[in-house]
Chain A
C-alpha cells in the first residue's frame, strides 16, 4: 500500500496566481520526483530529489520550483501560473535501491491543474 499523498486533487486557478502543489510520503523514502503529464503523452520528469536539501531539474524544462526541507515533504510551486501550465502533476517516491532491492516508485493520485 503506497503512502504518498498529493493535494489538491483538482485545482482551477486564474492566470498570474501563485500556487503550491503539496506532496507528502510516510515511507521514509529518500528519493522523490515530480512528473508532468499531458493527456495521451508520456510522463516527463520535471524535478527530483535524493534527500533533504537536494533538488535537481528533470529532463523537461519547467518554470516550477521545488524544495525538500523535510524527508517526507516535496512541494512544487508556480510563482505565476499561466494557461500553458495546465497539466496533470504526479509526485512519486522511491528507495535508493541497489542490488536486488525493489526500487519501484510509488505515485500519489496526482493533481490536475487548470489555469484559466
Chain B
C-alpha cells in the first residue's frame, strides 16, 4: 500500500514556463514533507520541505504548497530551466514519532523542452 503517491510518471514543460509536480499521501500522521531531485546514477538531492503547520514554503524558483485536508502537496518551479530536467521525488515523514522514517513516492520525470 503506497503511502506517498505521485500519479504522473512524466511531465514535459517548455523552458520558461511553470512546472507543477503533484503528490498525494494517505497517512494522516505525516507532518513533514520533502521534495528531492535525482539525476541518473546519482543519489537524490534535497530541494525544499514543508512542515504541516504551514501551507506554503518558497525558496527561489521553488515553491511547495500543502493542502492538509486533501492530503495533497505540489511543487512549483518557475521559470523552468533546462537544468531542471530530472526525476523529482516527493517524500513524507512523521517527525515526532519514535518510529519515523522517510517514505518516498515513485517519482515524476520532468523534461524541460527548449
| A interface with B by C-beta (< 8 Å) | 2, 6, 31, 33, 35, 40-43, 45, 48, 50, 58-59, 88, 90, 92, 94, 97-98, 100, 102-110, 112
B residues neighboring A (CB under 8 Å): 2, 9, 32, 34, 36, 41-46, 49, 51, 89, 91, 93, 95-96, 98, 100-107, 109
Given contacts A100-B51, A103-B95, A107-B43, 12 further A-B contacts (CB under 8 A): A6-B43, A31-B101, A41-B106, A43-B44, A48-B101, A90-B44, A97-B32, A102-B49, A104-B34, A105-B46, A107-B45, A108-B43
Chain B residue numbers with a CB within 8 Å of A109 are 42-43
Shortest CB distance A112–B (Å): 6
Count the A-B residue pairs with Cβ separation under 8 angstroms: how many? 66
